[in-house]
Amino acid sequence: MGASTGRQRMRRTAATSVPTAAIAGIAVVASAILGVTPTLSTAPWVLTDSPAAYWVPGAKTVTGPPDSAYESFADAVLDNTAGAHQPITKVDYAAAIWPITKGLFFDATFNVSVRDGVTALRTATGSQGGNIIYANSLGAVVATEYMREAGVQGNTYVLVGNPNRPNGGIMQRFNGATIPILDLSFTGATPTDGDVTYDIARQYDGWTDFPKYPLNLLATVNALLGIAFLHGKYPEVIDPAALDDSPNVDKQVWNNTTYYLVHTDRLPLLMPFGFLPKPLLDALDAPLRVLIELGYDRSNYGKPTGAGWIPSVNPVDIAHDVVDSTAKSITAETAPPATEEQDGDESAKTAARHGVAESAAAEKPEAVSQDDGTDETLEPSELADPPADTPADTKADIKAEIKSEAETPDKPGTTEPSGDTAAGNGADRDSAGTGTGSETAP
């Protein structure tokens, strides 16, 4: 296992700026101010036959939790994605965004931090493959650059809150832009054609789920608020063991990468108003979510997608969806709890509730048929015996028995006969209709 090094810096020229830099700059500054990144301590156990695991942290903030806060979450995420691993080794590097992280004006700039992180990770791994690299937030930007440099090495990458996520990451939304005063370059999408990668994002986290159409101001403001309310709280919300089978998680696989999008129950836009009654917030959330989702294209999380101007939409459809979502939210508040049978297609229902397109939800493995491929053929012993020919005298006995039972309807364990007798008597027909299946079974 390689040892971590101190802060070593490499210089390179920033990319040329483009007109989208203004929007991008606001987003990144808000991200750095509001983001929270904890540090990690080493686990006490060792699996000598397992691959080495390295953790590249995000930017250091003033309000970050203690060193041990992220440990159990990181281990659980790795256990449920990359698999067994040795104790995680933290990769120390600048991890700063001048002038808005912990050291303020004494911090390294964004680009310097990324280069420093790549150098530190290269030294830690000895440029050898076969490792597990866990990275979150700014650390995921470092891991992306390292992935590009190292090529295919047999590593496994687990990226959480990845700003370079191909469809949603702010580094790809404004790919090619630069903010010279911050020494911040937008470096595009994480590769999908190299080593195995797992990418975990929260819906509306502005670092990793930024809208495709930022001129949708509702979507943009909602994503920026998502940085404050969502980005630093992955361990508090995500259950790593449920990533593959939760109805609240959309899963897609593209080339070598498995993408997860964890639904957000309440729009960040409404989170400052948590003091309001829940029914009111629900009634506001539903139509706002329809309008906010117009700023997104969730058809393929692995397709590098830059920012666009205005989506092609039908105003009539939008109006219908807004009204329909509002009505459904009100109905949901007043409806009785769902039965087990009504709860069958939970994935589709939660996808609709969170505004995620049905096509995205359909990518989930649990959304496919549960048929295991076996024929439900009954054994001969389970089949009912075929009716035998009944002699005339036996038929007479049966008729007499039926007549006797019909004359004593109050006898326990008996029911009204079916057929012409019940059909000809309205009262009998109504009473028979109130019985349960178990009461009428022979």
| Catalytic residue ranges | 137
Question: What's the token pair of residue 278?
Answer: 């829940």
385: left (phi over 0), alpha (psi -120 to 50) or beta: beta
| 197 beta partners | 157, 257
For the stretch 117-151, what's the b/e string if a residue is b when 16 or more beta carbons lie within 10 angstroms of its beta carbon? bbbbbbbbbeeeeebbbbbbbbbbbbbbbbbeebe
For the stretch 29-64, what's the b/e string if a residue is b when 16 or more beta carbons lie within 10 angstroms of its beta carbon? bbbbebbbbbbbeeeeeeeeeebbbbbbbbbbbeeb
Strands 178-179 vs 184-185: parallel, antiparallel or unpaired:
antiparallel
Helix (H, G, I), strand (E, B) or coil at 438: helix
Q: Which runs of consecutive H residues, i.e. helices, occur in 126-216? A: 138-150, 170-173
Q: Report how far residue 198's alpha carbon sits from residue 174's, in angstroms, rounded to the nearest whole number.
A: 22
Residue type, 230: L
Question: What's the token pair of residue 175?
Answer: 């790919």
